[in-house]
Amino acid sequence: MNDTIDLIRRYYDAFNRGDWAGMLALLDEHVAHDVNQGGRETGRARFAAFLERMNVSYSEQLKNIVVMVNEKGDRAAAEYVVHGEYKATDEGLPLAQGQTYVLPGGAFFDVAGGRILRVSNYYNLEDWLAQVRRIDVD
């Protein structure tokens, strides 16, 4: 259990540092990535491409991270709060104008052999959309 908790914490520490190579090193070569409200992408190379796409449009930090692991240590979950900036328009989404957002999120993991086999990310897309569509009037 403790090894899995440490693995997931290292994954999120690398995320918060923007250390994509560090994140990728923790993934199995054939990692399954379930994109929030999207499809499944398979493989470390696809995950790397996803990170690069996200890095263009978003700057995010995860705070208040809580990691939970089953007794065998082969499944884990994490809950966190995303603090982000929408810095460049992502295809099919509202115009980016440097909007900031804060929303809860979570992920589920399958783990084996000290590597992450699956990452399934979840957050409330409607909440995010409402935050980035808001117009602040001075």
* The pLDDT of residue 138: 44
**CATH number of the domain residue 8 falls in:** 3.10.450.50
Is there a domain that residue 138 lies in? no
- pLDDT tens digit sequence for 8-40: 999 999 999 999 999 999 999 999 999 888 889
β-bridge pairing 27-34 and 40-42:
antiparallel
This prediction has a pTM of 0.91
Cβ atoms of 29 and 44 within 8 Å: the answer is yes
Do the domain assignments include residue 13?
Answer: yes
Domain count, the chain: 1
Q: Which domain range does residue 16 map to?
A: 2-133
**pLDDT tens for each residue of 79-117:** 999 999 999 999 889 999 999 999 999 999 999 999 999
